[in-house]
Amino acid sequence: MTEFLNNILFIFQRLNWLSVIDIALVTLTFYGLLYLVRDTQAMVLLRGIVFLIVLLALLTALVDLPAFSWLLRTSLPALLLSIPVIFAPEIRRALERIGRAGTFVTANTHREDVEKQAAIQAVVNAAARLAMRQHGALIVLQRLDSLDEYVSTGVLMDSRLTSELLLQIFYPNTPLHDGAVIIKDNRIAAGACVMPLSASGILVRSPERQMGLRHRAALGISEASDAITVVVSEETGSISIAHAGRMIRRIDPDRLENILNAFYRPEQHQKGFLQRHFPYLFFWKNDQS
């Protein structure tokens, strides 16, 4: 014990301001990585890798196993090369967020503002009427990330966005009611689109287990892009909104409109609104579209 304390004291004696900065940078790097993979399948994989590394390190340190130690030393480079493959989606999203942090967005013209407000109003009105009728719906609003690969999985429409058209699309047993509608540039780009399902444990841990494929798809596309997804439950008629792997459930139409306005019209007085409802957005610089 005395030797251990002497070693700790020796380390602190050698610290200087550069060492403190070095340690802080390493800590922030690990914190950022853990923050990005939280509540995803990658977190489970990362936990397993860390447990395996600690177990093998203790095993080789406590027991003299030269052959096994040689095997670990030779296989470690291959394991390190496999990490980018395993965590490829998370690394891609992190790089995209860093890239978007420096994006300069030009001011919208008055006409663009009017069109955007009309699109938001159409989505809110449609969601309210669908919720009242308990008709399930999945509406994906594209922001900076392209959703063309998901548009190609559905039926191309390129139609003017109206609440009546959304009601018709999601009417039960119509050809387009299964799948998602993707809204791009204030127009309906496609319907019946296939979205990736979320692999996170958010829905599993929810006390309300009735959330089905629509909610998993809403979370999935929000994890794979910066899109905003509006979901109407077919069982309960409740409205939910998802972004960046997080979901707010059971919101009324007025709150939905406020959230969409805060995303698409992020003036300074609306920043606090977003920060209260989606605080994780401010870990990185805010995306604006």
DSSP string, 9-54: HHHHHT--HHHHHHHHHHHHHHHHHHHHHTTSHHHHHHHHHHHHHH
pLDDT in tens, 216-244: 899 889 888 889 999 999 888 899 999 88
8-state DSSP, 107: P
Residues 95 and 202 occupy one common structural domain = no
Residues 172 and 84 occupy one common structural domain = no
What is the rounded end-to-end Cα distance, in angstroms, of the chain? 58
Report how far residue 209's alpha carbon sits from residue 64's, in angstroms, rounded to the nearest whole number: 50
Mean pLDDT of 153-163: 93
Residues 199 and 94 occupy one common structural domain = no
Its pTM stands at 0.64
Whether 287 is covered by a domain: the verdict is no
pLDDT of 191 strictly over 60: yes
pLDDT of 172 strictly over 80: yes
Residues 88 and 23 occupy one common structural domain = yes
What per-residue confidence (pLDDT) applies to 266? 52
CB atoms within 10 A of CB 66: 8
pLDDT of 274 strictly over 70: no
Report how far residue 229's alpha carbon sits from residue 239's, in angstroms, rounded to the nearest whole number: 11
Cβ burial 268-287 (10 Å sphere, 16+ → b, else e): eebeeebeebbeebeebeeb
Mean pLDDT of 113-138: 92
Contact predicate 218/231, CB 8 Å = yes
pLDDT of 141 strictly over 70: yes
- Pairing between strand 155-160 and 137-141? unpaired
Tokens for 18?
A: 């550069």
User: Domain end: 80, 101, 122, which one?
Assistant: 101
The residue among 73 and 276 whose pLDDT is bigger is: 73
pLDDT of 278 strictly over 70: no
Question: How many structural domains are present in the chain?
Answer: 2
Percentage of the chain lying above the pLDDT 70 cut: 71
pLDDT of 276 strictly over 60: no
What per-residue confidence (pLDDT) applies to 280? 44
pLDDT in tens, 74-100: 777 777 677 677 666 666 666 666 665
What is the CATH classification number for the domain harbouring 203? 3.40.1700.10
Beta bridge partners of 190: 156, 182
Residues 118 and 248 occupy one common structural domain = yes
Residues 144 and 26 occupy one common structural domain = no
Q: Give φ, ψ of 273 to 5 degrees.
A: -60, -45
Report how far residue 92's alpha carbon sits from residue 114's, in angstroms, rounded to the nearest whole number: 34
Residues 132 and 247 occupy one common structural domain = yes
What per-residue confidence (pLDDT) applies to 287? 38
pLDDT of 179 strictly over 50: yes
Whether 157 is covered by a domain: the verdict is yes
Report how far residue 13's alpha carbon sits from residue 10's, in angstroms, rounded to the nearest whole number: 5
Whether 289 is covered by a domain: the verdict is no
Contact predicate 45/85, CB 8 Å = no
Range of the domain at 145: 110-282
Residues 44 and 179 occupy one common structural domain = no
Whether 138 is covered by a domain: the verdict is yes
Residues 59 and 170 occupy one common structural domain = no
Give the residue among 33, 35, 40 at the shortest CA–CA distance from 222.
Answer: 40
Rg (CA), the chain: 24
What per-residue confidence (pLDDT) applies to 166? 94
**Mean pLDDT score of the chain:** 77
State the sign of the Cα–Cα–Cα–Cα dihedral 136, 142, 148, 149. Answer: negative
Contact predicate 279/35, CB 8 Å = no
Q: At what angle do helices 17-37 and 88-101 cross, to 10 degrees?
A: 110
The residue among 40 and 159 whose pLDDT is bigger is: 159
Residues 116 and 161 occupy one common structural domain = yes
Identify the H or E element spanning 59.
helix 41-62
What per-residue confidence (pLDDT) applies to 190? 94
pLDDT in tens, 2-54: 766 776 777 767 777 787 888 888 888 878 777 766 655 566 666 777 777 77
The residue among 282 and 170 whose pLDDT is bigger is: 170
Give the residue among 214, 270, 104 at the shortest CA–CA distance from 281.
Answer: 270
Residues 214 and 148 occupy one common structural domain = yes
Residues 266 and 152 occupy one common structural domain = yes
Mean pLDDT of 119-125: 94
